[in-house]
Structure formats: C-alpha cells, structure tokens
C-alpha cells in the first residue's frame, strides 16, 4: 500500500515538472526512512493531505531550480532574485503536482484533498516520523520529494 501511494507522487512530480518546465527529471533514488530524516532544504514547499489518508508531501529544491521555474512561468524572462514571484511560481508548480497525484490516487480508489502550500527557505528539512524521500536530478539542479502519511490508508 505504501509504495502505491508514494509512486503516485513520484510519477506526478516527474510528469508535471516535465510538462510545465519542459525539463526532464531523472529519479536517482527512492528511500524509506522509518525513523525520519534531516537534510538541507534551500526551498521547501510543503502541502498537507487529508481525506482518504492523512499526511504531507514536500518538494525540496535548490534556489536555482526555483528561479528557473519562475523564469518559465514568466515565458522565459530571466529571474535572478528569489522574491514573492518565485515563491508563487514554485507554489503553483507544487499545486499542479498535488492535483495530478490526487487524480492518480482517486483513480486507485483513494479520495484525498490537498491543502494550500507553505514555503520555507534556508532551513533544514527535518522529521522524526517515517517518510519516503525520492531524489531527482535535472539540468537545473536537484530536487527531493518527501512523502509521509498515516499508513492506515485504505484503497476502496
């Protein structure tokens, strides 16, 4: 069950990132951390999941990836400074990824809702609860996807 849920977020991240940014993501690792994890998080976009299961997922990216994402949102206008516009662009990207993952989960019989994203900058990502971390590479830099949830979720 856990891998079915996590794989929907992994697939949604790869698919949407490529469609929206026209950049291919290469998944380099997917690891389960039963006791949580801690790593640097230059830009961390976090969304909650409610409904069919409870949890959260985060997209952690280098600031350079966030700037490139904003540049794409502005039809190629180069963005060189992290500001509210960049934050808006990465939140929108996370919303689209969340929507795609939610759609995929619904097709599996697991109805869920996604909360509004929040962004943290320059802090470590840290959790003491079990989570999956997917690592991705692209020409812009690295991304991590962190998925953690109540494992009692039931697919209908």
At 55-72, the pLDDT tens digits run: 899 999 999 999 999 999
* Contact between residue 71 and residue 78 where contact means Cβ atoms under 8 Å apart: yes
pLDDT of residue 154 exceeding 80, the answer is no
- Return the pLDDT at 146: 95
Predicted pLDDT of residue 151: 63
Cα dihedral 22, 88, 90, 58 in deg (nearest 10)? -150
Mean pLDDT for 7-33 is 94
CATH hierarchy code of domain 2-149: 3.40.1550.10
User: Do 119 and 90 meet the contact criterion of CB atoms below 8 Å apart?
Assistant: yes
Q: Which tokens sit at 65?
A: 């990836």
- Global pTM reads 0.90
Alpha-carbon separation of residue 81 from 59, 61, 75, 118 (angstroms): 20, 15, 16, 19
- What are the structural domain ranges in the chain? 2-149
The answer on pLDDT for 76 being more than 90 is no
Between 1 and 56, name the one with better pLDDT: 56
Q: Which helix (H) or strand (E) holds 107?
A: helix 84-107
């Amino acid at each position: 069950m856990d891998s079915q849920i996590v794989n929907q977020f992994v697939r949604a991240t790869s698919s949407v990132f490529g469609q929206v940014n026209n950049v291919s993501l290469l998944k380099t690792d997917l690891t389960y951390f039963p006791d949580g994890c801690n790593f640097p998080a230059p830009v961390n976009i976090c969304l909650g999941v409610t409904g069919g299961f409870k949890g959260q997922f985060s997209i952690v990216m280098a600031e350079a990836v966030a700037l490139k994402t904003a540049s794409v949102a502005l039809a190629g206008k180069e963005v060189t400074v992290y500001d509210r516009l960049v934050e808006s662009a990465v939140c929108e990207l996370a919303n689209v990824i969340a929507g795609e993952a939610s759609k995929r989960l619904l097709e599996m019989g697991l109805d869920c809702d996604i909360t509004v994203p929040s962004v943290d900058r320059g802090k470590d990502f840290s959790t003491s609860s079990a989570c999956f971390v997917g690592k991705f590479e692209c020409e812009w830099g690295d991304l991590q996807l962190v998925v953690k949830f109540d494992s009692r979720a039931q697919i209908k």
